[in-house]
Structures are given as C-alpha cells and as structure tokens.
C-alpha cells in the first residue's frame, strides 16, 4: 500500500514538473498595429522560438481575441482586463489564459 501511495505521489509531482514547460506567453506584438479599438498581440510557448508555432493577432477593447499562426491554425476567445480568459482552436481544444 505504501508503494502505491508513493508511486502515485511521484507521478503527480513529475507530471506537474513536465507541465511547467507547456506554458504560453502572451505579449503585445511589436510589429502589430494598435489603431482603433484593437491592439496587436502575439502568443508562443515559452522557450519555443520556431516562428511557425507563434500565434499573432488582435485583442479588442472588450477582450475578444483572434489569432493565427503561419500554418493557418486559428485561436479565438476572450481575455478580461485582469488577464484571465479562454481560447479555443478550430479543433475544439480550449486553452486557459492566466497572468503570471
């Protein structure tokens, strides 16, 4: 019984350690426009510098987000003024967004 509990604890700790590398960073796009009611943003996985996996798009003043990467994959959703929100891709997968 002790072995089962210890192995479950080890799996839980190791899975949370590996999940840390899958974080996404969202920041304002230095090359995007900030005209009108929207601001250019970009999102990429932390420490992933492949330009084909980076999403670029706009966030409106009401918090609605539209982003697209070089492969044509899209993300849509909402982010509130505190930085929390959800994004959904075209396959139905959801991504939770939260500030650090």
Distance, in Å, from the CA atom of 66 to the CA atom of 49, rounded to the nearest integer, reads 21
Q: Please give the C-alpha separations between residue 73 and each of 7, 46, 57, 63, 80, in angstroms, as whole numbers.
A: 38, 19, 12, 20, 23
Alpha-carbon 59 to chain mean position: 14
**CA-to-CA distance for 88 and 31, rounded, in angstroms?**
24
pLDDT digits (tens, 9 = 90+) for 4-16: 565 555 555 544 4
Coil vs helix vs strand at 98: coil
pLDDT 10s digits, 29-80: 666 665 667 788 888 888 888 888 888 888 888 888 899 988 888 999 988 8
Q: What is the pTM of this model?
A: 0.64
């Amino acid at each position: 019984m002790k072995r089962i509990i210890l192995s479950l604890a080890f799996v839980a700790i190791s899975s949370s350690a590996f999940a840390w590398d899958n974080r996404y960073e969202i920041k304002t796009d230095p090359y995007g426009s900030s005209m009108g009611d929207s601001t250019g943003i970009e999102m990429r996985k932390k420490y992933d510098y492949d330009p084909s996996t980076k999403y670029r798009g706009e966030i409106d003043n009401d918090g609605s987000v539209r982003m697209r990467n070089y492969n044509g994959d899209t993300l849509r959703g909402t982010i509130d003024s505190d930085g929390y929100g959800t994004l959904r891709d075209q396959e139905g997968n959801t991504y939770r967004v939260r500030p650090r």
